[in-house]
A and B are shown apart, each in its own frame.
Chain A
Amino acid sequence: MVENIFVSIAAWLRGLLGGLGVPDLWNDVILMVVKLLAILVFILVNALWLVYMERKVAGYIQSRLGPIHVGPKGLLQTAADIGKLLGKEIILPKNIDLVVFLLMPVLIFVPPLVIFAVIPFGKDMVAVDMNIGVFYLIAVASLSTIIFWAAGWSSNNKYSLVGGMRSVAQMVSYELPLVLALLGVIMITGTLNMNEIVNAQKNVWFIFTQPIAFLVYFIAGVSETNRTPFDLVEGESEIIAGPYTEYAGMGFAMFFLAEYANVMIVSAMCTIMFLGGWLAPFGLDFVPSWLWFFLKMYLMIFIFMWIRWTYPRIRVDQLMAFGWKVLVPLSLANIFVTGAGMYIFRAIGW
């Protein structure tokens, strides 16, 4: 029952609307809107919660307590912060590109939102079951770089500009190993549909058959989300806050929350591609599939946070060298090994 709770709700809603005599087309439209709204609420609530979680994790790693005063165990801290940021004046520096400057904090949330539409949260729990899901995700995810760059460019601030330029350089060097790492999995499954990729991991998760791909994807993923040790885009001790330097109040908060939405996406992708998505390990089927998905996703998010609060930041030239001289060759080698392995397995008739 719990297993299909969300699917059942959708079916019940469809039946209800059908019973009211709503035509099928409208029925589909309404259902889609409801699904997307649910995802929107999910992302925003989760981003709020992740800010709290990050502060708590950081607190414990740094031998302190983190937020404890606002609400029970400090749970309302983020809500209070957002409330405060909403009340702040929007400061517009001189000689900025006004339209771009104001548009970017809004647009920053678009890529995460449209990506989550294709992510399967559980068995049959996907808003849009797209057969080129992985390809779509990769294509849309790189859009956020343009937003960082445009925000940096329009701010009329050299720190922002340097941050924006770094963002582009980082994207170019790390998108490549990211995609090449996913290619190993796609070669094995022969599909770009996320549901089918998850189903292909019934016997063994791809983290065991594709460990190098997982490692490369994970490192490139940290870089994609601009988090330590690859947080050069906002590298606080060098360029203040990179592209966000000139943003005040809610504009800044939007960038801040979008970072967590991106962390969720990279973790969700890790889960789907390498950790068996919503499949239950060891036959523990009595736990609903969507709960497994979230457990795995939060494990990945925790590892992200762990790394962030443990490592220092690498330098921009080291970042490039690492991307091009280590990750790209490694992921190419992985593709070669995967291809050779598949050929051999087929030849001996597995």
Chain B
Amino acid sequence: MKTQTYYLNLGPQHPSTHGVFRIILELDGETVVKATPVPGYLHRGIEKLAEARTYTQVIPYTDRMDYLAAMLMNWGYVKAVEDLMGVEVPERAEYIRVIVGELSRIASHMIATGAYGADIGALTAFTYTFRDREYVLDLLEMVSGSRMTFSYFRVGGVAEDLPEEFYPAVKKFLAELPGMCDEYDGLITGNEIFQARTKHVGIIPPEVGINYSLSGPTLRGSGVNYDLRKVRPYSVYDRFDFDVPLGKNGDCFDRFRIRIEEMRQSGRIIQQALEQMPDGPIQAKVPKVIKPPVGDAYAEIESSKGVYGCYVVSDGSPKPYRVHFRRPSFINLGYLGKLCEGWKIADVVAILGSIDIVLGEVDC
């Protein structure tokens, strides 16, 4: 019998591509022969737009990249500008950055966890993680006045000090966080069907992960111990005691499970940061108009999706000459096409979900 492959256009409008992402699948029945990812449907030209803004005006644009962990997006950019100017950030500001950054990471991982459940077909998981994410958003709203696009970081510090009501609220949240993670484990991770769907599916071997420059939970799921907060500590991360959860098989299940573990570790970091936090200024002395000296700087942080880098070139004017972002979501997608080959249509959704992309960041 003569059989024929056919093409299926998965996206850009599709319930499970996490936004406007497109994959052209060449299928043999339900089995993927070839997968061609096509990003770019949400491209807004943030890097180019940044060239026409002052250094401070670029910060809100970074919010719109990974809008699920916008604090971390702010952080990478201001860190690059600070490195360029040689500004010393006050210690209290660094602690505040760690606290809001880790809260943002928790919010992002909650979405990743819930949305992955929905990708596999368990819609209920989604509502539980979203319910808990509300706590985090409330906390961040107290701090910054905004729920998703915070623009809270400033070159040399943060916009405002933490409000008084933040401390009891965050303590209450931290007390509940382990219980929330246990609930996700019970609801999703422990489910037999969920494990059947994700274990040994979409395996990324460690050396392949390194060669493709993957990072974040996607890389650590393969067992590569690479977390910038540990291997190259920035800010005040060297003062905290936390573990880096690692996977064993590099399959979808490991990548998913790591995120829940990371939420617990983030909770530990926030706890320690609250205990250690000194008093003092929250903003370094920087000129009103930020004019870095001629030169360039590259700064990296560990965002919720992986290594997020920002490269800033200054020509001495109040506007950056060039800004480039290394977006982990985009780079993690590099191996997607190869990864999907030989799996079923349903697995493509599972694999894409396990990489946890945000289209705002992929297309920038």
Q: Could you tell me which A residues sit within 8 Å of B by CB distance?
A: 58, 61-64, 158-159, 162, 228-229, 231-232, 235-240, 309-318
Contact, CB under 8 Å: A240 / B197: no
Q: Given the complex of chains A and B, what is the CA–CA distance between A129 and B30 in angstroms? A: 44
Listed residue (B117, B121, B128, B188) with the most chain A CB atoms within 10 angstroms of its CB: B121
Contact, CB under 8 Å: B193 / A237: no
Contact, CB under 8 Å: B121 / A313: yes
Stretch of B40-48, B153-161, B233-241, B343-351 with 4 or more beta carbons under 8 angstroms from chain A: B343-351
Contact, CB under 8 Å: B122 / A236: no
Q: In this assembly, does B123 line the interface, its C-beta being within 8 Å of a C-beta of chain A? A: yes
CB neighbours (8 Å) of B57 from chain A are none
Stretch of B8-16, B276-284, B303-311, B333-341 with 4 or more beta carbons under 8 angstroms from chain A: B8-16
Complex partner residue of A315 from B14, B16, B191, B347, CB under 8 angstroms: B347
Contact, CB under 8 Å: B124 / A315: no
Q: In this assembly, does B174 line the interface, its C-beta being within 8 Å of a C-beta of chain A? A: no
Contact, CB under 8 Å: A316 / B346: yes
Contact, CB under 8 Å: A312 / B194: yes
Q: In this assembly, does B213 line the interface, its C-beta being within 8 Å of a C-beta of chain A? A: no
Interface residues of B in 118-143 (CB under 8 A from A): 118-124, 127-128, 131
Q: Given the complex of chains A and B, what is the CA–CA distance between A316 and B196 in angstroms? A: 12
The 7 residue pairs across chains A and B that have the minimum distance between CB atoms:
A313-B121, A312-B122, A62-B127, A312-B120, A237-B16, A312-B121, A238-B346
Contact, CB under 8 Å: B346 / A63: no
Q: In this assembly, does B212 line the interface, its C-beta being within 8 Å of a C-beta of chain A? A: no
Q: A63-B127, A229-B193 are in contact. Are A237 and B120 (CB under 8 A)?
A: yes
B126 nearest in chain A by CB position = A62
Complex partner residue of B121 from A61, A63, A235, A317, CB under 8 angstroms: A235
B350 nearest in chain A by CB position = A315
Q: Given the complex of chains A and B, what is the CA–CA distance between A15 and B259 in angstroms? A: 72
CB neighbours (8 Å) of A312 from chain B are 117, 120-122, 188, 191, 193-194, 197
Contact, CB under 8 Å: A63 / B194: no
Contact, CB under 8 Å: B123 / A309: yes
Q: In this assembly, does B6 line the interface, its C-beta being within 8 Å of a C-beta of chain A? A: yes
Shortest distance in angstroms between A206's beta carbon and chain B's nearest beta carbon? 27
Q: Given the complex of chains A and B, what is the CA–CA distance between A229 and B122 in angstroms? A: 9
Q: Mark B10-50, 1 if CB is under 8 A from A, else 0.
A: 00001110000000000000100000000000000000000
Task: Please name 28 pairs of A and B residues whose Cβ atoms are closer than 8 Å in the assembled complex, sorted by A.
Answer: A158-B6, A162-B30, A162-B345, A228-B122, A231-B121, A235-B121, A235-B346, A236-B15, A236-B121, A237-B15, A237-B120, A237-B349, A238-B346, A240-B14, A310-B122, A311-B121, A311-B193, A312-B121, A312-B122, A312-B191, A312-B194, A313-B120, A313-B121, A313-B122, A313-B197, A315-B196, A315-B197, A318-B196
Q: Mark B99-132, 1 if CB is under 8 A from A, else 0.
A: 0000000000000000001111111100110010
Q: Given the complex of chains A and B, what is the CA–CA distance between A235 and B350 in angstroms? A: 13
B31 nearest in chain A by CB position = A317
Shortest distance in angstroms between B33's beta carbon and chain A's nearest beta carbon? 14
CB neighbours (8 Å) of A62 from chain B are 123-124, 127-128
CB neighbours (8 Å) of B191 from chain A are 311-312
Contact, CB under 8 Å: B344 / A63: no
Known: A237-B119, A316-B344. 17 other contacts (CB 8 A): A228-B121, A229-B121, A236-B121, A237-B349, A238-B16, A238-B345, A238-B349, A239-B345, A310-B124, A311-B191, A312-B122, A313-B197, A315-B197, A315-B347, A316-B346, A318-B196, A318-B197
Contact, CB under 8 Å: A314 / B193: yes
Shortest distance in angstroms between B320's beta carbon and chain A's nearest beta carbon? 40
CB neighbours (8 Å) of A228 from chain B are 121-122
CB neighbours (8 Å) of A310 from chain B are 122, 124
Contact, CB under 8 Å: B197 / A316: no
Listed residue (B30, B118, B119, B120) with the most chain A CB atoms within 10 angstroms of its CB: B30
CB neighbours (8 Å) of B121 from chain A are 228-229, 231, 235-237, 311-313
A241 nearest in chain B by CB position = B15
B122 nearest in chain A by CB position = A312
Shortest distance in angstroms between B4's beta carbon and chain A's nearest beta carbon? 13
CB neighbours (8 Å) of B30 from chain A are 162, 316
Q: Given the complex of chains A and B, what is the CA–CA distance between A158 and B14 in angstroms? A: 14
Shortest distance in angstroms between A264's beta carbon and chain B's nearest beta carbon? 22
Interface residues of B in 174-208 (CB under 8 A from A): 188, 191, 193-194, 196-197
Shortest distance in angstroms between A198's beta carbon and chain B's nearest beta carbon? 34
CB neighbours (8 Å) of A158 from chain B are 6, 8
Shortest distance in angstroms between B97's beta carbon and chain A's nearest beta carbon? 33
Q: Mark B60-95, 1 if CB is under 8 A from A, else 0.
A: 000000000000000000000000000000000000
CB neighbours (8 Å) of A58 from chain B are 124
Contact, CB under 8 Å: B118 / A64: no
CB neighbours (8 Å) of A237 from chain B are 15-16, 118-121, 349
A311 nearest in chain B by CB position = B193
Contact, CB under 8 Å: A61 / B124: yes
Contact, CB under 8 Å: A314 / B196: yes
Q: Given the complex of chains A and B, what is the CA–CA distance between A140 and B205 in angstroms? A: 50
Q: Given the complex of chains A and B, what is the CA–CA distance between A221 and B197 in angstroms? A: 22
Listed residue (A232, A240, A314) with the most chain B CB atoms within 10 angstroms of its CB: A314
CB neighbours (8 Å) of B194 from chain A are 312
Shortest distance in angstroms between B113's beta carbon and chain A's nearest beta carbon? 13
Contact, CB under 8 Å: B344 / A317: yes
Shortest distance in angstroms between B132's beta carbon and chain A's nearest beta carbon? 10
CB neighbours (8 Å) of A318 from chain B are 196-197
Listed residue (B117, B345, B347) with the most chain A CB atoms within 10 angstroms of its CB: B345
CB neighbours (8 Å) of B196 from chain A are 314-315, 318
Q: Given the complex of chains A and B, what is the CA–CA distance between A250 and B25 in angstroms? A: 31
CB neighbours (8 Å) of A238 from chain B are 16, 345-346, 349
Complex partner residue of B128 from A63, A232, A236, A317, CB under 8 angstroms: A63
CB neighbours (8 Å) of B14 from chain A are 240
